[in-house]
Structure 1
Amino acid sequence: MTARHRLEECEVAVKFIIKEKVPEHAWWDDEMLGRVPTEVMIMSLVEHENIVKCLDLFEDDLYFYLPPTPRPNFSRRASYDLFECIEQSKHKRLSEADARYIFAQVVEAVHYLNSQGIAHCDIKDENLVIDRDFKVKLIDFGSAVVADPNAPAPFYTLFFGTTAYASSEVLRKQPYQAPPAEIWTLGVLLSYLLTGHSPFPTEADAIEGRVHVRERAGGPRISSDALGLMARCLERDPARRADVGEVRAHVWLQGALVRG
């Protein structure tokens, strides 16, 4: 719901978290906050321009209430989730320049989270809020996991993200590590940004890593660098898949955060 913050004198969007629906594994005991959902703890600690941050935390017997940090260009009338942005674009896809700018911001957010031992685990167009200047914020940490950033990433057997973005190893029901699975979701997101479609027509294609790029007939061709980055993100074998450092350093993203 939207609300007005009386001290900050700005409009905010308030997220309601139903306490009884938070799974047992998704609680966190914090010295200051007490027993709270993991996403509350994460959003209270993260500090990055491309990640939403909690302004306050309120609770009653049924709910936690999370109003995020306000931003002048992220008012109700000036912002959309990325899915809406793509749907409203002329050909239900973005120009490569705009896709590159948006994707670079998401990669910066993922790189920052990875350095903190956090994996979002549900990166998708609907969890990215974009303003009129194409500035991006990552939202909704309800599926996020936290681990020691200085230790090998743990393996998980449960998956709480979105199946359409799930990595090959997740779909094969194998134990998986969150960082490589997160890179896969970036590859799927990049396909949506550039083509408006998933790179996998069927789940079987995703399981086998068979990428299908649907370019618009008569439209500009997608650059080989963009397609090369997508392929590195969608490598079937998680051990051979790019990590976030490789993605961030890829030639297609060099200078991408500078808007002409």
Structure 2
Amino acid sequence: MGYSLHPSFARNYQLCDELGSGGYGFVMTAVHQIEQVEVAVKFVIKDKVPKEAWVTDEVFGRLPMEVMLLMMVNHGNIVKCLDVYEDELYFYPLPFLDVPSRPQYCRRPSHDLFECIEQTKHKRLSEKQARYIMSQVVDAVHYLKNQGISHRDIKDENLVVDRDLRVKLIDFGSATIVDPSFPRPYYKLFFGTTAYASPEILQKKPYQAEPAEVWTLGVLMSYLLTGMSPFPSENDALEGRIVLSEVPGKRLSKSCLHMMARCLEPDPTRRATIEEVREHRWLRGSESAVGRH
């Protein structure tokens, strides 16, 4: 990096490769000098964090919202922050995430779900594999909802998998938190990725985070199962016209299509809740999914 990192971090970890970058910072791999364990560390650039994205913690003082949320959450399918380093320019929670091993159907090392899908034969997963991944993502979103947290940028690039398709949700740079005992607020500003944006967001209407989050789950299902968005155009998304590209000779199950349609209901007041999605019959029996198509 050509930069003097926190002395304790520098003593224990050797930085390696950059994995990616975003609006507030970048992610790099690092290896523990003694244990030789590889982790991924996100460097949050202080000057790029907007004023509304800062919070005050009783122990750590002023922190970016993203860092505080990573310290709060405790779920098997969500990245967990165990420690935080800070210097003049950066916050860097650590370990941000154990770097997963190579998924068995990927031809080269890969860390996010988008890359793994791209490397499969048909650029899509089997229904069994997709169901297993979705069950984990839905469980994570349900957990966050009960904590008053909305991720607001769920997509394949923010899901990391290991060789057994165990999922970790990462990148809380767009996340928000409210008191879960209060009615959920409406938002005007859009946080996330346009390809996953719900109709109410595309129409620039005030929106609630949970229905918008459920919509992203339906879009994610399509990417997992077909390798493509369910909507060829923005008008298709606004009207909820789902167009799927299926593998010749392989049809998606009725329960799969039903769950996707419930998530992609264009009217947010009629769209499935995260509780309905979590209990949907398509997700039952999704304990294992490893295997080739």
With the length of structure 2 as denominator, give the TM-score of the two structures. 0.84
Rounded to whole Å, the distance in 1 between the matches of 2:34 and 2:96 is 12
Rounded to whole Å, the distance in 1 between the matches of 2:149 and 2:123 is 31
The answer to whether the Cα contact below 8 Å between 1:78 and 1:131 also exists between their aligned partners in 2 is no
Counterpart check, 1:103 vs 2:130: no
Aligned to 2:167: 136
Distance apart, 1:79 and its partner CA: 5.0
Aligned to 2:94: 67
Query: One-letter code of the match for 2:65?
Result: T
Distance apart, 1:199 and its partner CA: 0.5
The answer to whether the Cα contact below 8 Å between 1:78 and 1:132 also exists between their aligned partners in 2 is no
Rounded to whole Å, the distance in 2 between the matches of 1:70 and 1:146 is 22
Query: One-letter code of the match for 1:144?
Result: A
Larger Rg: 2
Percent same amino acid at aligned positions?
A: 65
Of the three residues 233, 240, 246, the one matched with 2:270 is: 240
Counterpart check, 1:33 vs 2:60: yes
Rounded to whole Å, the distance in 1 between the matches of 2:258 and 2:245 is 15
Aligned to 1:58: 85
Provide the secondary structure at the position in 2 that maps to 1:237: coil
Query: One-letter code of the match for 2:235?
Result: A
Rounded to whole Å, the distance in 1 between the matches of 2:32 and 2:61 is 24
Distance apart, 1:115 and its partner CA: 0.8
The answer to whether the Cα contact below 8 Å between 1:105 and 1:257 also exists between their aligned partners in 2 is no
Of the three residues 173, 186, 209, the one matched with 2:204 is: 173
Farther-moved stretch of structure 1 (76-85 vs 98-107): 76-85
Of the three residues 106, 119, 129, the one matched with 1:88 is: 119
Counterpart check, 1:251 vs 2:254: no
Residues 81-127 of structure 1: CA deviation (Å, up to 9, x unaligned): 00011101110010000000011110010011011000100000000
Of the three residues 52, 76, 80, the one matched with 1:49 is: 76
Query: One-letter code of the match for 2:249?
Result: G
Rounded to whole Å, the distance in 2 between the matches of 1:202 and 1:121 is 22
- Equivalent runs, 1:109-188 vs 2, <5 Å: 109-188=140-219
Query: One-letter code of the match for 1:253?
Result: L
Of the three residues 17, 38, 56, the one matched with 1:11 is: 38
Rounded to whole Å, the distance in 2 between the matches of 1:6 and 1:46 is 27
Rounded to whole Å, the distance in 1 between the matches of 2:88 and 2:161 is 33
Q: Which runs of 5+ in 2 are unaligned?
A: 1-27, 103-107
Rounded to whole Å, the distance in 1 between the matches of 2:48 and 2:239 is 34
Q: How many residues align?
A: 258
Aligned to 1:223: 253
Aligned to 2:239: 208
Rounded to whole Å, the distance in 2 between the matches of 1:121 and 1:7 is 37
Rounded to whole Å, the distance in 1 between the matches of 2:110 and 2:72 is 24
Residues 225-256 of structure 1: CA deviation (Å, up to 9, x unaligned): 10100000000111110011100100000121
Residues 143-182 of structure 1: CA deviation (Å, up to 9, x unaligned): 0010111121100000121011011100000000001100
Farther-moved stretch of structure 1 (95-104 vs 74-83): 74-83
Rounded to whole Å, the distance in 2 between the matches of 1:10 and 1:186 is 32
Rounded to whole Å, the distance in 2 between the matches of 1:23 and 1:118 is 19
The answer to whether the Cα contact below 8 Å between 1:47 and 1:53 also exists between their aligned partners in 2 is yes
Distance apart, 1:75 and its partner CA: 4.9
Change in 2 beyond 3 A, CA 1:54/1:75: farther
Q: Which runs of 5+ in 1 are unaligned?
A: none
